[in-house]
């Protein structure tokens, strides 16, 4: 694994990093997403390893890239017609040095072990950046909830939790939602967990309904946090979101609340998308209509365009990045924004890109943005708002209290500013001012590494 151009390392450090990545490729074959996530982190660590040789002596690289536990299990369930299906479930408890494993569950046909490991590895650093005491993990299944009835989703969730529950606990591993897992699924999962363990252990899952242990502001948190992080990047450049033209990809929970917060801060958001295409709305996205289509009707963005009228144009199979914008929020899924998209955005004058999804921008595209001077917020920093409010939900559960939306939003704003400032300060400290990728990776890595060292050979 050659280090990127323009970055240097001592021969010993370079050898360790190259050997580490080669070992990961050998031991984890057929997992390209995991390889990509690890490589992106390792490429930035040479300066800290040169400055802190004790991390090499303690084999921190080897320890932090190997999951503490990987769980794979069968999930049998029955559909409404009586047909039996068998899916595969996963939970990767990647690193618990800072606290109980924390990370979402993803239900999507593309889920496999490599995807879950990539997400869990990212989660380690993201959770560390929040400043909260939570470790990194991730889970899910190749089950597709799209088109399934509520009863079918319930039966699947009950079967999934029947196996997974033995590995969970508020002091052990605390899942949340992700793609395909929203309030409905969390409710079914929690209900089955409660039946199996005979305890009301509210802190074992986050993203719960507000009326039964959830936190105000949790649905909004990831999208809001991404916008707040972007506002901080712009602030350092003497700008804000007022009047900026914004494109958002996706139309799920993260995207909807990215639209909401960006609009609240004065931006003009003109796009949303799904796997079939995108819609561009010249008057700006009608947030109430978008919520009606996606959260109530469970429809597609094409339905939004049809209901919206002449200001909205649906582009089937198109790429949202072809729409000119000042700010872009890739908020759908991994590797959705490639180098060709980056060239188009840069040509059209994009100023900032903030990752609302996990690793949605390919490495080549990231490099192009950075070379063009575009402010780039990596997902492990920019979308940390979701897990931050999950941590606040855990705190409320432990104290048997509920906070107001205003208090949660104030805490989220404080945390996202602190995440931004930590990334910015760390990048400057290691000689790469303005490089939020390097700043996020090193800041998260140092915090986790210090915890690992303090706890001995674990």
Q: Do domains 69-200 and 221-382 have the same CATH topology?
A: yes
Residues in the chain: 458
How far apart, in whole angstroms, are the C-alpha atoms of residue 359 and residue 440? 13
Q: What is the pTM of this model?
A: 0.94
**HSE (side-chain half, CA atoms, 13 Å) at 415:** 30
Tell whether the model's pLDDT for residue 370 goes beyond 90.
yes
Q: Residue 373 has what pLDDT? A: 97
The residues that are catalytic are 138
Tell whether the model's pLDDT for residue 2 goes beyond 90.
no
Burial of 84 (0-12, 13-18, 19+ CB in 10 A): exposed
Q: Residue 454 has what pLDDT? A: 98
Percent of the chain whose predicted confidence (pLDDT) is above 90: 96
Average pLDDT, the chain: 96
More confident residue, 2 or 164: 164
69-200, what's its fold? Rossmann fold (3.40.50)
* Domain 221-382: homologous superfamily in CATH: NAD(P)-binding Rossmann-like Domain (3.40.50.720)
The arithmetic mean of pLDDT across residues 302-315, rounded, is 96
Q: Find the helix or strand (DSSP H, E) in which 360 lies.
A: none
Tell whether the model's pLDDT for residue 3 goes beyond 80.
no
Tell whether the model's pLDDT for residue 5 goes beyond 50.
no
Which parts of 202-251 fold into alpha helices (H)? 221-235
For 102-131, give the secondary structure using H, E and C. EEEEEECCCCCHHHHHHHHHHHHHHHHHCC
> Where are the chain's structural domains?
11-65, 69-200, 221-382
pLDDT digits 0-9 by tens, 258-276:
999 999 999 999 999 999 9
């Amino acid at each position: 694994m050659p280090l990127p151009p323009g970055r240097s390392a001592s021969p010993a450090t370079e050898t360790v990093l190259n050997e580490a990545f080669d070992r990961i490729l050998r031991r984890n074959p057929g997992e390209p997403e995991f390889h990509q996530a690890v490589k992106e982190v390792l490429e930035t660590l040479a300066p800290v390893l040169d400055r802190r040789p004790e991390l090499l002596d303690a084999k921190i690289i080897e320890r932090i890239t190997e999951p503490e536990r990987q769980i794979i299990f069968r999930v049998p369930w029955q559909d409404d017609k009586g047909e039996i299906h068998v899916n595969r479930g996963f939970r990767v408890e990647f690193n618990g040095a800072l606290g109980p494993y924390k990370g979402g569950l993803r239900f999507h046909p593309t889920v496999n072990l490599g995807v879950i490991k990539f997400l869990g590895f990212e989660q380690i650093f993201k959770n560390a950046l929040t400043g909260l005491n939570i470790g990194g993990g991730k889970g899910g299944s190749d089950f597709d909830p799209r088109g399934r009835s509520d009863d079918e989703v319930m039966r699947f969730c009950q079967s999934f939790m029947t196996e997974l529950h033995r590995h969970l606990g508020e002091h052990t591993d605390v899942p949340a939602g992700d793609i395909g897992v929203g309030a409905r699924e969390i409710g079914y999962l929690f209900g089955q967990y409660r039946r199996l363990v005979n305890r009301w252990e509210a802190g074992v899952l986050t993203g719960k309904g507000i009326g039964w242990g959830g936190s105000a502001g949790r649905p909004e948190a990831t999208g809001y946090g991404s916008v707040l992080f972007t506002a901080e990047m712009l602030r350092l450049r003497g700008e804000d979101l007022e009047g900026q033209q914004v494109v958002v990809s996706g139309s799920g929970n993260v995207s909807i609340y990215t639209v909401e917060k960006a609009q609240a801060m004065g931006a003009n958001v003109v796009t949303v998308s799904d796997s079939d295409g995108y819609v561009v709305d010249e008057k700006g996205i009608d947030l109430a209509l978008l919520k009606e289509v996606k959260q109530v009707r469970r429809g597609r963005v094409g339905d939004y365009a049809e209901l919206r009228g002449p200001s909205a144009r649906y582009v089937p199979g198109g790429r949202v990045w072809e729409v000119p914008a000042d700010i872009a929020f890739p908020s759908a899924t991994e590797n959705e924004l490639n180098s060709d998209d980056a060239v188009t955005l840069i040509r059209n004058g994009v100023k900032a890109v903030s990752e609302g999804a996990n690793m949605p921008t390919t490495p080549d595209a990231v490099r192009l943005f950075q070379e063009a001077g575009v402010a780039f917020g990596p997902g492990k920093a920019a979308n940390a708002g979701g897990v931050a409010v999950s941590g606040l939900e855990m705190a409320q559960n432990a104290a048997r209290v509920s906070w107001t939306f205003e208090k949660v939003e104030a805490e989220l704003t404080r945390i996202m500013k602190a995440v931004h400032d930590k990334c910015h300060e760390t990048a400057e400290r290691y000689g790469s001012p303005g490089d939020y990728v390097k700043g996020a990776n090193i800041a998260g890595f140092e915090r986790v590494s210090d915890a690992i060292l303090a706890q001995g050979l674990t």
